Amino acid sequence: MHKKSIELLNKAIAEEMTALQQYIYFHFHCDDQDLDILSTIFRQNAIQEMIHVERFAERILFLKGEVEMKASQDVQKITDPEEMLKMATKLEEDAIILYNKFANECAQHGDSVTKQLFESVIAEEERHYDDFDKESENIQTYGKEYLALQSMERAKKRGIPRPTTPVE
Residues at the binding site for heme b are: 50
Where is 159: in which H helix or E strand? none
Distance CA 35, CA 58 (A): 35
List, as residue ranges, the binding site for Fe cation. Answer: 16, 49, 52, 92, 125, 128
d(CA 117, CA 96): 13
Please give the annotated binding residues, written as ranges: 16, 49-50, 52, 92, 125, 128
* Buried b / exposed e along 132-164 (16+ C-beta atoms within 10 A): beebbebbeeeeeebbeebeeebeeeeeeeeee
For residue 127, count CB atoms less than 10 angstroms from its CB and return exposed for 0-12, middle for 13-18, buried for 19 or more.
Answer: exposed
One-letter amino acid of 12 = A
